[in-house]
């Protein structure tokens, strides 16, 4: 059968453990620094997500009562950037499992899985850029609204 080589048999489980550690770290960082607001639906097809993309892509008038929720949504998108670590960790764990127990099906699954994780990371990064662009073009004016962003410094501050 396809038995792993001596080095691959030792490195594979270590890579799997590293991947799991990165997944756990990404979950913690996303929850702590993600800037989440409860009850906010930010799926790509949600009305708030669509409205945020429209506001970033072109000069769209924003009513003052809508600005706090759009800022909160942008902050969530910026905070979700930590989920890229999840994609990296999952890919590393899968690759470690493939090294430890090689097989043609596992090779194919690892290739497809890594491609999906790379695409997910790219979408997450794109949304974080859109969120940063919105926050930079619509700074907080001190109006009442959701709590300020808890993650990385916003562009233009400091």
Residue pLDDT, tens place only, 49-98: 888 888 888 778 888 888 888 888 888 888 888 889 999 999 999 999 88
In sequence order, the 6+-apart residues with CB closer than 8 A to the CB of 33 are 79, 82, 150, 151, 152
Give the model's pLDDT for residue 8. Answer: 66
| Helix/strand/coil percent split, the chain, to 5 | 70, 0, 30
């Amino acid at each position: 059968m396809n038995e792993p080589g001596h080095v691959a048999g030792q490195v594979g489980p270590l890579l799997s453990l590293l991947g799991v550690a990165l997944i756990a770290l990404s979950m913690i960082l996303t929850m702590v620094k993600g800037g989440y607001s409860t009850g906010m639906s930010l799926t790509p097809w949600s009305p708030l997500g669509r409205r945020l993309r429209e506001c970033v892509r072109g000069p769209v008038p924003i009513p003052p009562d809508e600005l706090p929720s759009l800022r909160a949504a942008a902050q969530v998108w910026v905070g979700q950037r930590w989920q890229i670590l999840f994609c990296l960790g999952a890919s590393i764990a899968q690759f470690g499992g493939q090294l430890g127990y090689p097989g043609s099906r596992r090779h194919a699954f690892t290739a497809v899985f890594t491609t999906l994780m790379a695409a997910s990371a790219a979408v997450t990064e794109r949304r974080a850029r859109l969120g940063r662009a919105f926050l930079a073009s619509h700074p907080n004016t001190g109006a009442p609204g959701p709590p300020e962003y808890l993650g990385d410094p916003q562009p233009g501050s400091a």
